[in-house]
Structure 1
Amino acid sequence: MARLLDETSHWDAWTRRTQVLAAVAAGTDVVQAWRAEQPDSLPATVMHTRVAVERAVRAHRAGHPRTRELWQEAWAACRDAAEHAPDDPVPWVCLLALAALDERQRMEEHRHRPPAPMLPPGPWGLLAEAEKRDPYNREAHHRMLQFFSTRRSGASPGPLSEAVNYAQWAAGSAPTGSALHALPLYVRVERYRRERGHERALDLHWVAEDALREAQRALDTWFLFCATDEASLLDLNHLAHALFGALRFADAARVFEALGPYYTVLPWAYRTGRPDDRALAEDVFLRARSRCLDH
C-alpha cells in the first residue's frame, strides 16, 4: 500500500486508489500498524481517514448501534487529515462521504446555499474545498450526488428531482473528457431501480428522448476523449448499459470493447428481479455484450 501510494502522482489516481485500498483495508488493522510504524507519514494519515470513513458508512448502512461513534471518529480523522495534508482533496471527499449519513441535514456544513438556482442546499462548502484542490474530482461529485439521492423527506428518501438537477448542473459545467458527463446516467438507473422498471413488460425508460440525450452526451463529451484504460469501470458499465438500453448497439459495442473482460454488478443487477444475485447480473451483462458485439 505504501509503495503504491508513493508512486501515485496525480490527484485523480490518488483519490481512486485510496478509496479502493480503504474498502479492502477496513476489515483489517493494517493501516493502524502502518501508522504505528510511521506516525509522520501523510499517506498513512490519509489512509487512516479513508478506513475510518469506510467503517462509519458501512455501520450506517447496516444500522449498527456504534454508527454515531464511528461517524464522530471519522469526522475527527477527516479534519485532522485536512490539517496535516492541506493540498490533498481526499479529506474533503471523505467529509462529503460522511455527509450522506446526515440524511436530515442537521449539521450546518450540510446546509450551505447552492451556487446556482434550481439546486438545493447541501454540503457545497465541502465540495468547494475538494474542487479547490482537484477541480472536477470524480468521487467528490459522486458523493454529492449520493447526498442528494439519499436525503430524507419524511421517513424515506425524497424524490430524485434534486439529484437530477445536480447531475445536469455538474455535467453541464464539466470540461470535455471529464467523467462527470456520466453522472446523469447514474440518476436514470436509480430512478429505474425505484420504479422497479424490470417488472414492466414494455419498458420505455431507456429509449425516452432525454435518456438518449444523456447517453449521447456521455459518449460524445467523455468516452471519445478519455483514456479508457484509466476510466472508472462503473462509468464504462453505466455508459454501455445506457447505450444498450437505447438500442444504440454499435456505439455500445465500442464501450464493451473498451471494458474488455471486466464488468461491474451495477447497473446490470437492477435489470433483474434479484439485485443481490451477482450471477443474474453477470448473465444480463453477457447477453447485452453479445447482442452489441454481434450487431
Structure 2
Amino acid sequence: MAGRGFRPVYHPAGHDHALRHALQDLRTGRWAAMARLLDETSDWSAWTRRTQVLATVAAGTDVVRIWRAEQPESPAAAVMHSRVAVERAVRAHRSGHARAGQLCQEARAACHEAGDRSPADPVPWVGLLALAALDGPRHPAEHRAAPPAPMLPPGPWGLLAESEKRHPHNREAHHRMLQFVYARRSGPLSEAVNYSHWAASTAPVGSALHALPLYVRVERYRRERGHERALDLHWVAEDAVREVRRALDTWFFFCAVDEASLLDLNHLAHALFGALRFADAARVFEALGPYYTTLPWAYRTARPDDRALAEEVFLRARARCLGD
C-alpha cells in the first residue's frame, strides 16, 4: 500500500468485513445482518467493539427499536438498545441539549435492563461507565467509590469491577473510565496519568491497555494547545519513549492486528513517528493497511476540525516512515 497516489480510508469497521456488511445493511434501515453478526460473535472483545460501532450508526435511526418490536425476547436487541441509548445520551450531553438529563436516565435504565437480560455481558456495565462521565461535579456515591490502589482518584470503581468480572481488561471499559477521570476535574492530568499507568501495569501481554498512556499524552498536548514542533519534542522525552516502547513490545507485537482498534494503531503510529522510531512506525502503518483515523493526527494541525489537514499529516508521516 506504499507509494504515490495512496489515499487512506476512514471506515469505522476497519478490517472487520463482516461488521462492514452489517453497517451497510443498517444504513438501509434493516437489522437482520446486525442480528446475524452479533449471533455469530463469540468473544467479548469483538462483541464490545462491534456493538459500539453499530450503535454509532444505529443511534440516528429507528432500526434497533424495530428489531426489538419484532424480537422482544432477543438479549442482543436489548444490549443494542442500551448501546443506542448511551450513544444518544453522550451526544446530547456534548451538544448541551435540553433533554440530556432525561436521555441519561433513560440510558441508565436501558443498561440495567440489558444487564438483567444478559448477566454475563460486560457491555451494559461499560455503558454505565460511559454515563458516569456525564455527571460532572454531582457524582452520586456510586461514582465516588474508593480506588483500588494509591494515587488513583475516587470514581465508579464498582462499575469497572462488574465489567472486569465479565471480561477482564476490557478495552472500552478502561477508556470510559479514563473519560470519567478527565471529566472529574480540569487542570493537570496527573490523575489520568496515574490511572493509565495503573491500567497498563495490570494488563497482560497483548492487551490494548498498554496503549492507554499514549492517549493521555495526546490529551495533555491537546489541552496545552502546543504547535507541531512542541509535539515532536514532547514525544522524544525519555518517559514518552518508554511508554511508546512498552506499547509496542507488550501490545502490538502480540496482538491480532486485524482485530485491533484503528484508534489504538493510529495512536501508536503517531507516537512512534514523534519519537523518531520510523522503522517501528512503518510496521504499524503496514498493519493499518488502507485505514486511518483523523485522531490523533488532527492535533498536529492548526485546525483540528479539518479532516483534510489531518489526512495530509497522516500521509506525510506515513511516507516518511515507509520511505515513499
Question: TM-score, normalised on structure 1?
Answer: 0.97
Partner of 1:23 in structure 2? 56
Q: 2-side partners of 1:100 and 1:223: how far apart?
A: 29
Query: Could you tell me how far 1:195 is from its partner in structure 2?
Result: 1.0
Contact 1:151 1:158 in 2 (8 A): no
Q: Report the Cα distance in structure 2 between the residues aligned to 1:163 and 1:253, rounded to whole angstroms.
A: 29
Contact 1:218 1:239 in 2 (8 A): yes
What are the superposed Cα offsets for residues 117-168 of structure 1, whole Å, 9 maximum, x if unpaired?
000000100000000000000000000011101223xxxx232111000000
Of 163, 167, 173 in structure 1, the residue corresponding to residue 196 of structure 2 is 167
Q: Choose which of 78, 81, 103 in structure 1 pairs with 2:111.
A: 78
Give yes or no for the alignment of 1:240 onto 2:273. Answer: no
Residue type of the alignment partner of 1:151: R
- What is the match of residue 280 of structure 2? 251
One-letter amino acid of the counterpart of residue 228, structure 1 = V
Pairing 1:111–2:140 present: no
The amino acid across from 1:16 in the alignment is R
Which residue of the partner structure matches residue 66 of structure 1?
99
Q: Are the structure 2 counterparts of residues 201 and 91 from structure 1 closer, same or farther at C-alpha, using a change threshold of 3 Å?
A: closer
Aligned partner of 1:125 among 144, 155, 158: 158
Give the letter aligned to residue 31 of structure 1: V
SS at match of 1:266: coil
Please say if residues 197 and 203 of structure 1, whose CA atoms lie closer than 8 Å, have aligned partners that are also in contact: no
Superposed CA RMSD? 1.1
Tell me which stretches of 4 or more aligned residues in structure 1 moved more than 2 Å: 199-203
Stretches of structure 2 that go unaligned for 5 or more consecutive residues are: 1-33
1:218 aligns with 2:247: yes
Give 3-state SS (helix, strand or coil) of 2:136's partner.
coil
Matched, 1:95 2:128: yes
Corresponding letter in the other structure for 2:149? A
Matched-pair identity in %: 81
User: What is the distance in 2 between the residues matched to 1:226 and 1:16?
Assistant: 15
Paired residue type of 2:291: Y
Give distance in 2, aligned partners of 1:115 and 1:269.
35
SS in 2 for 1:51: helix
Question: Which residues of 2 match residues 46-65 of structure 1 at below 5 A?
Answer: 46-65=79-98
Q: 1:34 to 1:240 in 2, by over 3 A?
A: same
- The answer (yes or no) to whether the contact 2:147–2:153 under 8 Å persists in 1 is yes
Aligned equivalent of 1:229: 258
| Matched residue, 2:237 | 208
The change in CA–CA distance for 1:201 and 1:232 in structure 2 (over 3 A counts) is closer
Among 202, 205, 208, the alignment partner of 1:179 is 208
Which string of whole-angstrom CA distances, capped at 9 and with x for unpartnered residues, describes residues 154-204 of structure 1?
xxx232111000000000110000000000000000001111122656851
Paired positions, count: 291
- Aligned partners of 1:264 and 1:192: how far apart in 2? 18
| Residue number in structure 1 paired with 2:27 | none
Instruction: Report which stretch shifted further, 273-282 or 199-208.
Output: 199-208
| Aligned equivalents of 1:239, 1:177: Cα separation in 2 | 14
Structure 2 residue 302 is the aligned partner of structure 1 residue 269: no
Going from structure 1 to structure 2, the CA distance change for 1:199 and 1:232 (only over 3 Å counts) comes to closer
Structure 1 unaligned segments of length 5 or more: list them.
Answer: none
Counterpart residue type for residue 190 of structure 2:
S
Check conservation: 2:221, 2:231, Cα contact below 8 A: no
For residues 83 and 5 of structure 1, the distance between their equivalents in structure 2, rounded to whole angstroms, comes to 18
* TM-score, with structure 2 as normaliser: 0.88
Q: CA separation in 2, counterparts of 1:262 and 1:178?
A: 21
CA contact (8 A) 1:149 1:158 kept: no
> Given the alignment, which residue of 29, 33, 43 partners 2:66?
33
